[in-house]
Amino acid sequence: MTNLQPTSVTPRFKREWLLLGGPVVAGLLLSAGVAALGVWPSWQRLLIDQQELEQLEEQRQRLPLLRAQLLKLQDSVQQAEQRNAAIVGLIAGSGEISTFLAQLSSEAQRTGVALDGYEPVVTQAPPADPKAAKTKSAKDKTPPPPADPLLAPGLQKTSLLLTARGTGPQLLAFLRSLEQLSLLVVQSDLSLKHETEEAAKPGEAAANTTQLRLNLSLYSAAELATKQP
C-alpha cells in the first residue's frame, strides 16, 4: 500500500534555513548599523553645512538692501549735521568776542556813552550726556537751574555785566546799536540810576547823567580746545 502521510522535509528545511540564514541576516544588520554609525556624523555635518550655505545666500541677497539703507542713513546724518550747522550759524551770527568788544567800545564812543567797565565770562554748552543727571545724590532735592535754550551744542555764551553812563537819549541810542552788532545779544537785568554831578565851575549847572547796569549774553561759535603737546 502506498504511504500517503506527509513527510518531515518541510520542518527540516525551515530549521536549516533558520540555522543558515539567521547569522547572515544578523551580519547584514550589524553591518548596516556600523555603516549607519559611520555615516551619521557626516550626514549631520552635511546638513549643518547646507543650512550655513542657505544663510550665507540669504545674507548675500540682502546685501544690496543693507547698502541702500546705509547710504540713506549716511545722507540723513549729513543732512542733520548741515541743519545743526545752519542753526548754530543763525544763533551765533558772525564774528568773535574780541571783535564784538571792539564794536562795543566804538558804539559807546559814537553815542557819547562812557563805559565804566565790563568783564566777559564764557560758558560752554553742557555735553549731551543723560548720565550726568544721575550724578547728584538722591537726597539732594534742589532743582537744577533751567537750561539755556539758546546754548546749543557747538555754541558758547559770554556774559557781560556792563556799566555805562550818559544821558537818556545817549543810552537809548547805545542800546539800540547793540542789536545791530555781529553777534546775537540778549539783554537782561536792566537797571537805571539817576546821578547828578557837581558843576566844575561856580555858576555852571550841575550835569545830570544816568548810570546803566545791564547783563549781556553773547552767543558765538564755541572755540576748539587746543591740544597740549
**Grid cell at residue 122:** 564764557
Place of cell 542789536: 179
- Asked whether residue 220 carries a pLDDT value surpassing 80, the answer given is no
Alpha-carbon 130 to chain mean position: 10
* Cα 120 to Cα 116: distance, rounded to the nearest angstrom: 14
Measured distance between the N- and C-terminal CA atoms of the chain, rounded to whole angstroms: 132
Question: For the segment 94-105, what is each residue's pLDDT rounded down to a tens digit?
Answer: 567 777 788 888
CA distances from 27 to 18, 20, 30, 36 (A): 14, 12, 5, 14
Which amino acid is residue 67, in one-letter code? R
pLDDT at 110 (0 to 100): 92
Question: For the segment 143-201, what is each residue's pLDDT rounded down to a tens digit?
Answer: 555 677 667 777 778 888 888 888 888 989 988 888 777 677 777 888 888 877 665 55
Total-model pTM:
0.48
Count of residues making up the chain: 229
Give me the residue spans of the domains in the chain: 14-92, 97-126+153-198+207-221
CATH superfamily membership of 97-126+153-198+207-221: Ribosomal protein S6/Translation elongation factor EF1B (3.30.70.60)
pLDDT at 227 (0 to 100): 42
Collapsed DSSP state (helix, strand, coil) of residue 36: helix
In 93-202, where does DSSP find H-type helix? 97-111, 168-178
